[in-house]
Amino acid sequence: MQSSNLETSIPTRKTGSAPDTAPLVAQFVRILSELCDVYRQMAPLGEARRSAVRTADAPALRETIEKEATLVARLRDLNRQRVACVTALTRIVGRPERAEATATWLSEQLPPEQGEEVRELAVALREAIERVQKRVATDRLATETIAAHLQGLVRTAGDAMSHAQTYGRSGQVERGRHQVVSLMDVTS
């Protein structure tokens, strides 16, 4: 991983007067671009997961989850690189007054041509992250709704098949002491 190189060596201009940010900015731009790409790759996987859940296709769901896990691992690696790069850049340009240096803050500290590229990528990354977060929140709500509906169906089926109609401490109908065998047509 290249992040260890960022920690140990800060490039300087040939004149030796001030550190040169260009190599670190180029690396930072590459990292931000790759982060944007990974988040964009997650969008179609969200649709594939939704489709697999909608059609109860367990193999497709498993495959989608594995692909998402690969992308999440890549995000983790890129974020480690991003943190190392930001740390190295803040050693050159200084630290912000608040605790965390953001890409937008860094873009303001860099020369205009470098700062503009970083700023544009920061905006694109923020938008990509927000789209994924919104989709995940929507999917979570839909999945919780489906799970609650299925629990209700199971409870209704249990109620219909429990001839003893006794209630337990939880207020739910529970089976009595005597086993009663019943059949229910679930095909209609």
Tokens linked to 187: 């095909």
Q: Count CB-CB contacts under 10 A for residue 35.
A: 22
Distance CA 49, CA 3 (A): 33
Question: Is pLDDT above 60 for 157?
Answer: yes
- Per-residue pLDDT, averaged over 102-113, amounts to 85
From 82, 73, 95, select the one nearest 122 (Cα to Cα).
82
Stronger pLDDT, 94 or 175, i.e. the higher one: 94
At 7, the pLDDT band (50, 70, 90 cuts) reads very low
- Per-residue pLDDT, averaged over 59-87, amounts to 94
Q: Count CB-CB contacts under 10 A for residue 24.
A: 24
Helix (H, G, I), strand (E, B) or coil at 30: helix
b vs e for 68-107, b when ≥16 Cβ sit within 10 Å of the residue's Cβ? Answer: beebeeebeebeebbebbbebbbebbeeeeeeebebebbb
Q: Which of 69-78, 88-97, 125-134 has the lowest mean pLDDT?
A: 88-97
What's the pLDDT score for residue 10?
41
- Per-residue pLDDT, averaged over 169-179, amounts to 60
From 93, 91, 92, 114, select the one nearest 28 (Cα to Cα).
114
Distance CA 144, CA 132 (A): 18
CB 158, CB 180: distance < 8 Å: no
Stronger pLDDT, 141 or 166, i.e. the higher one: 141
Between the CA atoms of 62, 65, 70 and 74, what dihedral angle is there, to the nearest 10 degrees?
A: 180
Break the chain into its structural domains and give their ranges: 3-174
What's the pLDDT score for residue 124?
94
From 115, 101, 109, 111, select the one nearest 29 (Cα to Cα).
115
What's the pLDDT score for residue 176?
56
CB 39, CB 134: distance < 8 Å: no
Stronger pLDDT, 111 or 171, i.e. the higher one: 111
- Per-residue pLDDT, averaged over 29-58, amounts to 91
What's the pLDDT score for residue 17?
42
User: In angstroms, how far is CA 32 from the centroid of its own chain?
Assistant: 16
What's the pLDDT score for residue 155?
78
